[in-house]
Amino acid sequence: MKFYDPTGETYGVPTFPRRLAPEGLATRRQLRAKGLRPGGQDVAAQILWHGRRDPITRTRPVRVAYLYRLDLALPVRPMTPGRARAVAAMMRARRTCPDCLVTYPYVIPTSLGCCPGCADHPTTALAA
């Protein structure tokens, strides 16, 4: 069976194919759904599978998901008022155009670096 290495001899860490991981292990997303976090523990195992075929290279990349032990997982730290203010300030900075300094209700595209209005009509700097 491909990607089945419960002892970790081949891949260095116990490896399982999709849907065959033992009980008591979970991915980060599964931990978060249960209100838990890895809490600094090392990776206990991994899941390997082939991703979708790339139409250009026609190869299937190997994807990986790391597994953590549920019994060593810690509860997610609660959101404190200070952390909530910090997150709000970070999101406000992502919504503020650096050129016109207007705060928009959406996140400014990083591909443009400024709001679409400023990207369409850039101001020309006066020659000194």
Residues 18-35 pLDDT 10s: 999 999 999 999 999 999
**Are 73 and 35 within 8 A, CB to CB?**
no
Task: Name the CA dihedral angle for 38, 39, 45, 51, rounded to a multiple of 10 degrees.
Answer: 40
**Terminal C-alpha separation, the chain:** 71
Domain ranges in the chain are 15-75, 91-120
Please tell me the predicted confidence (pLDDT) of residue 124.
52
Find, among 71, 10, 16, the residue nearest to 45 by Cα.
16
pTM (2 decimals)? Answer: 0.70
**Helices and strands in the chain: count of H runs, count of E runs:** 3, 6
- The residues of the chain scoring below 70 in pLDDT are 122-128
